[in-house]
């Protein structure tokens, strides 16, 4: 039996860990999946996707900088992709292209399952109001936190996100608020998620130190061989810190589920990736 073809498309793409992650999922589940890298030119995303589809491809993961174009290309969107305004998973169905976004689900699953911290009843601080932040709000709300505070350097963007999700927050019985950095409460949160692009250039988003306590999980969506600046900062304030490697694995597991209807176990793949990263230090 020949394998069904999938790939991750982006630019750049050479360092993507997705092919290795999906190869491990395929081996673990016995699903006949082949998964490659696809480099699309910056002005050639749609053509590359259509060519892959025409050649029999079954689905794609989409990464930087094409998640908005993928959102526009999809004929149907999952509610979480519509809320995120971005698509990281395309599935080619007989009746068209289905667009989904598994990033936020991956974050929530990593925090709840791999790190053992529940969102239910939690006070959550979300730092950042760009694409990454927008993608995680609905999956967080679905877990019934007590309160989500969205804080951004540019307050106006935080207000826009709050307005977008006010209705959903009411539905899930969650308070939603925030604004500029002064909107951070001067007492510890249960979960703080850094969704700013800050860690890439090692900048810390402004945040009251009293937001971090011994019972706080401080989660950085970035990851690297070494703890990020945000993680070191959180630990210096007594909080527990985690990076976004588990989110990477869990969003992949959820994409695999969207394509195959089978959910692979993320934990062993995460452990293997962690060991590989540690060996690079």
Q: Name the β-bridge partners of 150.
A: 126, 178
Closest distance to ligand ATR from the beta carbon of 86 (Å) = 8
* Closest CB to ligand ATR among residues 24, 251: 251
* Closest CB to ligand ATR among residues 197, 277: 197
Per DSSP (E only), the strands in the chain are: 4-10, 33-39, 59-62, 76-77, 89-93, 96-100, 123-127, 147-151, 175-179, 191-194, 217-220, 240-242
CA 237 vs CA 57, 178, 192, 203: distances in Å: 48, 22, 13, 17
Q: Report the 10 Å Cβ neighbour count for 251.
A: 27
CA 258 vs CA 4, 61, 68, 166, 271: distances in Å: 14, 11, 19, 28, 23
Nearest residue to the partner ligand ATR, using Cβ: 130
Token pair of 116 as six digits: 């053992």
Asked if the peptide bond before residue 12 counts as cis, ω within 30 degrees of 0, the response is: yes
Which is nearest to 30 in space by CA: 258, 267, 256? 256
Closest distance to ligand ATR from the beta carbon of 200 (Å) = 8
Give the residues lining the site for ligand ATR (CB under 6 A). 128-133, 152-154, 157, 196-198, 203, 205
* Closest CB to ligand ATR among residues 168, 197: 197
* Closest CB to ligand ATR among residues 3, 203: 203
Closest distance to ligand ATR from the beta carbon of 198 (Å) = 4
In the block, which residue shows the tokens 């990281």? 88
Closest distance to ligand ATR from the beta carbon of 119 (Å) = 20
Out of 17, 67, 157, 187, pick the active-site residue. 67
In the residue annotation, 17 being an active-site residue is answered as no
Closest distance to ligand ATR from the beta carbon of 47 (Å) = 24
Give residues with Cβ within 8 angstroms of 98, minimum separation 6. 74, 75, 76, 77, 78, 90, 91, 92, 258
* Closest CB to ligand ATR among residues 131, 213: 131
Supply the DSSP symbol for 190. S
**What are the residue numbers of the active site?**
67
């Amino acid at each position: 039996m020949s394998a069904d073809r999938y790939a991750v498309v982006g630019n750049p793409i050479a360092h993507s860990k997705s092919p290795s992650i999906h190869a491990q999922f395929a081996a673990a589940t016995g699903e006949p999946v082949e998964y490659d890298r696809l480099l699309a030119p910056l002005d050639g995303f749609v053509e590359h996707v259509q060519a892959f589809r025409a050649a029999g491809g079954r689905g794609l993961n989409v990464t930087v900088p094409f998640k908005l174009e993928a959102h526009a290309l999809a004929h149907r969107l999952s509610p979480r992709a519509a809320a995120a305004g971005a698509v990281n998973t395309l599935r080619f169905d007989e009746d068209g292209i289905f667009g989904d976004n598994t990033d936020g689900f991956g974050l929530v699953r990593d925090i709840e399952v791999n790190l053992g911290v529940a969102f239910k009843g939690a006070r959550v601080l979300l730092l950042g109001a760009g694409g990454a932040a927008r993608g995680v709000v609905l999956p967080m709300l679905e877990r019934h936190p007590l309160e989500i505070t969205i804080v951004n350097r540019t307050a106006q963007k935080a207000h826009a996100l709050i307005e977008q999700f006010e209705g959903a927050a009411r539905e899930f019985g969650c308070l939603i608020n925030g604004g500029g950095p002064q909107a951070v409460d001067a007492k510890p949160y249960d979960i703080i998620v850094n969704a700013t692009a800050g860690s890439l250039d090692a900048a810390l988003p402004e945040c009251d130190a009293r937001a971090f306590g011994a019972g706080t999980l401080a989660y950085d969506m970035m990851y690297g061989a070494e703890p990020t600046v945000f993680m070191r900062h959180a630990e210096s304030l007594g909080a527990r810190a985690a990076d976004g490697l588990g989110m990477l694995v869990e969003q992949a597991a959820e994409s695999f589920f969207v394509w195959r209807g089978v959910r692979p176990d993320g934990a062993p793949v995460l452990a293997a990736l962690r060991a590989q990263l540690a060996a690079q230090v």
